Amino acid sequence: ISDAGGNPPVVVDSDDLVARPAATMAAYCTAVGLPFHSRALSWEPGERAEWQRSAVGHSDASTSSGFERREHKYRYTVENCEKLARYAAHHRPFYEQLYAQRVDVTPRDCPTADGSADDFCSGTESDPERVKRWPE
């Protein structure tokens, strides 16, 4: 999977984003050539004018002030709906291929320019065994 110029996409996993927002955003910014600003990790809750047409889909975002995990209960899931299960099974290989290319924010000691250690290294995941699997 790549763009028209042959460049791989910059993939951010939402689980990484809510678990390690600073590391994930810093790695993303590095990958796309933007400066990282930690102040972008929090914001004032509220609706945005451009969300008016799809406000119901932005209800969590408009009440949030940062990246956090939110659990939802859904009436229909891949476990209780055959149509959703088929849809998920069809798309699983595409998801896994993208997930394998995600920005890697695995905690580990990485040397920095000043010789200290940082707790993440930017890059992409290269170990296919670590690809998160969807429920079968």
Instruction: Provide the strand spans (E) within the chain.
Output: 110-111, 117-118
Residue, of 133 and 18, whose pLDDT is higher: 18
**Calpha distance 101→15 (Å, rounded):** 14
Residue type, 35: P
SS3 readout for 64-87: CCECCCCCCCCCCCCCCCHHHHHH
Residue type, 27: A
Model pLDDT, residue 112: 56
8 A C-beta contact, residue 45 and residue 65: yes
| pLDDT at residue 135 is higher than 80 | no
Model pLDDT, residue 111: 52
pTM, full prediction? 0.69
Q: What is the tens place of the pLDDT at every residue in 44-91? A: 998 888 888 888 888 888 888 998 888 888 999 999 999 999 999 999
Q: How confident is the model at residue 105 (pLDDT cuts 50, 70, 90)?
A: confident
Closest to 15 measured CA to CA, from 118, 99, 92: 99
Q: What distance lies between CA 128 and its chain's CA centroid?
A: 17
Model pLDDT, residue 96: 93
In the chain, pLDDT over 90 holds for what percent of residues? 40
Q: How confident is the model at residue 114 (pLDDT cuts 50, 70, 90)?
A: low
